Amino acid sequence: MILVLTRTYFPDGTNSKLECEGKLICNAIELPWKKNETKVSCIPEGNYFIRKRYSNKFKWHLEVMNVENRKFILIHPANNALLELKGCIAPVTQFSGPGLGLMSRKAFYKLKEFVFKALDREEEVRLIVQSNSEKGMIKK
């Protein structure tokens, strides 16, 4: 399975759409691009693997693997990137501003169920992170 996260960059956050085979699964919010600095930047564009992960804080969620110079890049619920994320990706049902979204838990459970089914079939799940050069600020 290949998931494609297409980003639009803004000074206060990053908004994305997450698709599989051209079909929208959900939207997503992230921190703004700050040159991959730990805990204050979204991760670099690229190709990553996704796996299941469990923690007491987030219970079952997803982890983005092999991010250069970063660890524990998770996909978990959050509605405000600047207040709730440290480099992770948060699925949201709709945007309410740059790096802001609504009904994250609902979007997260939809995505988690979709991805967990593939992983339970022992299918490889990849995440391609790319920019939407037509809208918003282009990353510098």
Q: What is the pLDDT of residues 24-35, one digit of tens each?
A: 999 999 999 999
Q: How confident is the model at residue 132 (pLDDT cuts 50, 70, 90)?
A: confident
Residue 139 falls inside a structural domain: no
User: Looking at residue 125, which CATH number applies to its domain?
Assistant: 2.40.440
In sequence order, which residues have a C-beta less than 8 Å from that of residue 127 and are 6 or more positions away?
2, 3, 4, 5, 47, 48, 49, 50, 64
Residues belonging to the chain: 140
Give the per-residue pLDDT at 135: 47
pTM of the model: 0.93
Domain count, the chain: 1
Residue 30 falls inside a structural domain: yes
Residue 138 falls inside a structural domain: no
User: Which residues span the domain enclosing 65?
Assistant: 2-131
